[in-house]
Amino acid sequence: MLRSSADDFRDARDLIANQRFADALPLLAKVVSFDPSNHQAYVLWVDCHTDMERFARAVELADEGLTRGIAPAELSIAKSEALTKLGRYEEAAAAAQAALAIDPSSNEAVFALAEIELARGDAPAAIRIHQDLLRRDPQNEDVHYALLELLLESQQPLVDTARDYLRKFGQDADVLAMLGHAYVASREYRRADRAFRDAAELEPDSVEHHVNVLMLARITQNDAAHDRYLEQLADFDEELADEVEDELELLLAAPEDAEP
């Protein structure tokens, strides 16, 4: 049966979703050759090179596409990301600013600027970029979530930001887990336990959320709570309980990862 460019593009996206970049790359090269009007495929082709750490080639392809007028905002962002990986920060910032000039509402361009600051080792500057964007667009859930991830990664206070997110957008298991980690850092263990348990209730099949509850019980030396929770989990799903217990033991074997 004959395959169309649309078939190849669909398959390439599926492969990328599964992080099979090397398999997706030839399909995307084929699509952009036979269907030059598919600008989305071209951008994905450039991104795929970046994902495979072919940063110089990604910059080269982005420049070629920009010369041809292909998706200028998207390709400028892709170019910025590849240049950041190459440590060419001023050029990366110029590319991100070019994307913003084309589309002032582009969150991705702002995120690219923040990534440049992170790569430079200036987490506070990256946080300020996210905070400024959130002040301009306080109902933007993606920006709010990205700020939380950045605060968690840089070990900055995030309790108020997480609470604000939950008030605006409702319960979210990952945000509750972030909140739990923040409470652990400040030794507010009861609040941490509540946040971790709420996350586990929202996503009962998640190994990570259950591990957080049990790890906290270990940290606080609450053996009764630990055993009771594990028993209840086994009643719910014995196989899941075994998986959670195995993961917990792996974490306990690595002292630097001991806290949730």
Domains of the chain in start order, with CATH, are 1-103 (1.25.40.10)
CA distance 179 to 157: 10
What CA–CA distances, in Å, run from 151 to 104, 134, 145, 155, 249?
24, 14, 10, 6, 28
C-alpha triplet 214, 216, 220: angle, nearest 5°: 120
Burial class of residue 240 in the structure, from the number of CB atoms within 10 Å of its CB (0-12 exposed, 13-18 middle, 19+ buried): middle
Q: How many whole angstroms separate alpha carbon 248 and alpha carbon 260? A: 10
Pick from 82, 84, 46: which is nearest to 64 by CA? Answer: 46
157 φψ region: left (φ > 0), alpha (ψ -120 to 50), beta (else): beta
- Residue 252 has a pLDDT of 85
Strands (E), 105-235: none
Which pLDDT score is estimated for 15?
A: 95
Q: What pLDDT, in 10s, does the model give residues 140-160?
A: 999 999 999 999 988 899 999
In the 8-state DSSP scheme, what is residue 256?
G
167 DSSP assignment: H
| SS3 of the chain: helix, strand, coil, percent, to 5 | 80, 0, 20
In the prediction, which pLDDT does 258 show? 44
Confidence of residue 256 (pLDDT cuts 50, 70, 90): low
pTM over 0.85: no
